[in-house]
Amino acid sequence: MQPARLRADPTAAWEIARPSRVSALPGVDMAGFRIGGGSPVELRTIPHPAVTVAIEFGDRDFDLHSAAGRMRSQSLAVGLAFSPFQVRAEGVECLQIRLSPLVAHPVLGLPLAELCGSVIALDDLWGRAVPRLRERLHRARTWPERFALIDAELLTRLHAGRAVDPEVSWAWRQIVASHGRARVSDLAVGVGWSRQRTWSRFGSQIGLTPKRAAMLVRFDRAIHRLVRGHSPARVAADGGYADQPHLHHDVRAFTGTTPATAANEPWLAADDRAWPARGGAEF
């Protein structure tokens, strides 16, 4: 099957590949990108309740702009964020990996509080392993080979890393299962910790307080329902928002734009929920 093609702008075509099989690691989602070499693509990233890693293997750089400034790199790790970044790319071949915070903590080898809302070159975390991995991805002939290489790399690092506390893991899963509607006080009771200890340990290992994590998870569910064509009024009512203006406020706070515009951002096109609705190719 040929890769699906998206028009990210009038001059550049995207090819996006999705794995046909679920990753061997729970909490890991991948997509492969090939962006045509016409005019550069300007892309707005949409905040997501996962740590995003991007590895370019075609000898090009990502040019990323954020509130913290500008960064150029061939590999990026983007922490849990509350605001969008602008990415500029041209002729890029890369793999995007989304890691649940429960996986990202041991795989990246640092407390996610150090990565929250920021971007760091993956080379600064994994050192010389990154150029070697990029070379292997470049030499691989197919997307399934590349997905398998990443799976193996992540599995090795997961086993070598330090796992998130079971209590923190339980609290995160409760937030996700409730679509961001879990009460923080109930989480503290559930893990048997004080509210202060729950906030401290959760914030250190996940990168956000439980309240802000719940806001991000709730927003993520809302934006994906908007992508699938649900009305803002229905999304607000079902998602726990006080009313539709509160939904609009959250979407603008997270994306810098309106719900209608945000729901059509290309960044959502390679997502495990948004992409199937757009007919993405699997490999």
What domains sit in the chain, N to C, each tagged with a CATH number? 4-162 (2.60.120.10), 166-262 (1.10.10.60)
Among 18-32, 38-52, 195-209, 268-282, the range scoring the smallest mean pLDDT is 268-282
Contact 70, 97 (CB under 8 A): no
How far is Cα 135 from Cα 92, in angstroms, rounded to an integer? Answer: 15
Contact 19, 282 (CB under 8 A): yes
How far is Cα 106 from Cα 113, in angstroms, rounded to an integer? Answer: 13
Rounded to 5 degrees, what are φ and ψ at 16?
A: -125, 130
- Residues 157-163, mean pLDDT to the nearest whole number: 92
Residue 103: the pLDDT is 94
The residues, ordered by sequence, that sit 6+ positions from 27 with a Cβ below 8 Å of its Cβ are: 50, 99, 100, 102, 103
Residue 283: the pLDDT is 45
Contact 185, 56 (CB under 8 A): no
Exposure string for 215-238, b = 16+ CB within 10 A, e = fewer: bbbbbbbbbbbbbeebebeebbee
CA 102 from centre of chain: 13
Give the tens place of pLDDT for each residue, 82-139.
Answer: 887 888 777 788 899 999 999 999 999 888 988 887 888 899 999 999 999 999 999 9
- Residues 201-211, mean pLDDT to the nearest whole number: 93
The residues, ordered by sequence, that sit 6+ positions from 29 with a Cβ below 8 Å of its Cβ are: 23, 50, 97, 98, 271, 272
Contact 61, 50 (CB under 8 A): no
Residues 48, 116, 236: CA angle, nearest 5 degrees: 35
How far is Cα 237 from Cα 246, in angstroms, rounded to an integer? Answer: 10
**How confident is residue 272, by pLDDT bands cut at 50, 70 and 90?**
low
